[in-house]
Every structure is written in C-alpha cells, then in structure tokens.
Structure 1
C-alpha cells in the first residue's frame, strides 16, 4: 500500500499556510495553491498530498504524542534553511540542525509547527 495523503490538524489555517509555505519553500517546494476560502490547505509533496485543516468533530486540534513527520532535504544547508524558516514563521525548535546520533549521523533538525505538530528535516537519512 502506498501513501497518497497525510492530514494534520490546524487551529489557524493562515498561520499554518505561512509556516508550511516557508518551510516547504526552503526544501524547494511550491507554495500552497489552495484558495483562501477553502476549509483546508494542501501541498503536493511529489505525489503525496499534505493537508491541514480543523478537526471534523469541531474540537480544538492537538498534536500527537510521539508522532513525528520527517521530510527529506537535499543538503545540510536546506535543513538549516528549513529550520530557520520554521522559527521565523511561528514554529519552535525541537532540535537544532546537526548530525543526529539517533539517525546514524544523518544531518537533521526538528520543529513544532504553530499547532504543536512535531516535524523533522534530514539529509543523508538511510533506511536499514
């Protein structure tokens, strides 16, 4: 089974759009093309759709405890740019850009988006 889309909750779509446009832009992706009046925002991550929107039950969105979404970066400079863009656009640091021992020395960084979702960006991350 292949992943086609990934959806996270957002309590403020304008803040989410600004944060993800900046961080995805640092990784070479186009800005969100979803019209402003839509109840969600969406990006194409090379065949996988990444969506954010309010919780369907009307309750406030919360982040997953232990959940992290990792994005691939082309270089260490792209990881640094991703991290800096996130901090400038309402995110908080969960790990500075550096070689990560837990990832066999791959270069990565971690952020929380404006809604508290934990994200990472890595270059050189190997499976297995």
Structure 2
C-alpha cells in the first residue's frame, strides 16, 4: 500500500495557488505547509509538493504521473478546466480512455513545474450533485463483519446532516 506521493517544485508558493483549488475538487485539503513544502490529504497526508532536499532544481520524471480519483465526470472536467485556468498545460482533455478500460474517464494536465497529473473516474454518472437542490448526493456501501460495527456505522451515518441512504447487506 502506498503511504503518500511527493512531487518536486521550484516555487512552492506558486504551486500552492495551482493545487489548492484543484485538489479541493477531489476532496483533498492543505493539511500542513512550510516555505519548502505543501502536504494535502483528507485526514492524513497522501500528496505532497516539495522543493528537493538535495538543493538541486526539481525536474519532471519521464513516464511518471499521479492520478486523483474523482467522484464523477463533471469533477474530471472541472479538474481539467481549473488546472488550465491556473496555468496548467493540457495533456489530454476529459474523455473516455478505452485503451485503459471501457469506463475510464480521465483528463491529464501538467502543473506549473511540468509534473503530469490526472483526474479519473470509472463511473458513468455525470454529476455527484442533485441538479434540483444542488446538495451533494451521498451513498455508502459498507461491508462489515461485526453487528456492533454495523450499528455504529448506521448511527454515524444517520446523524449526518447529509442524511445518506444506507443499505445493509
């Protein structure tokens, strides 16, 4: 299992202006930062932008890219357009990539330092949002072994302000 991924940058301040709005689209937020680094995640750090510790300029790895999972196709499109609006370079517009999988919908961009990043989803769902009231639609499928875990999960989900639908199998 991968703990986190780090990419190099020669200008962390500029990288933050690029990544903050982009990563918020896929559920990540800035958890920690310094003059030399940015660390993103939901609860734990999973993605970092850093100036190289050896003091040499950051360079791009040929054949390397980082893919961020998106909840729907709209988010992939927004990821791509937000990246371009913030100075990123197009490396592949949002579309089905049948050479990967018949359901693989992704978009590729290069960040301000030339690192290749992607947003991808396997769902055919256009939007994770309910078009009528703009609230986020949430569903959860839990596979749990112990009955007390099921009860705790149901209690937690039912106490949510988003009131997700839960199916217990």
TM-score over 0.5 for the pair: yes
Pairing 1:31-110 to 2, within 5 Å after superposition = 32-35=30-33, 37-45=34-42, 47-105=44-102, 106-110=104-108
Say which structure, 1 or 2, has more relative contact order (CA 8 Å, 6+ apart): 1
Question: How many pairs align?
Answer: 122
Q: Output the CA distance in 2 between the equivalents of 1:91 and 1:46.
A: 27
Equivalent pair of 1:26/1:85 in contact (CA under 8 Å): no
Moved beyond 3 Å, runs of 4+? 45-48
Partner of 1:122: 120
Equivalent pair of 1:6/1:48 in contact (CA under 8 Å): no
Q: Output the CA distance in 1 between the equivalents of 2:42 and 2:100.
A: 23
Q: Which has the larger radius of gyration?
A: 2
- The runs of 5 or more residues in structure 2 that have no matched partner are 124-169
Q: Output the CA distance in 2 between the equivalents of 1:16 and 1:77.
A: 24
RMSD of aligned Cα (Å): 1.7
- The runs of 5 or more residues in structure 1 that have no matched partner are none
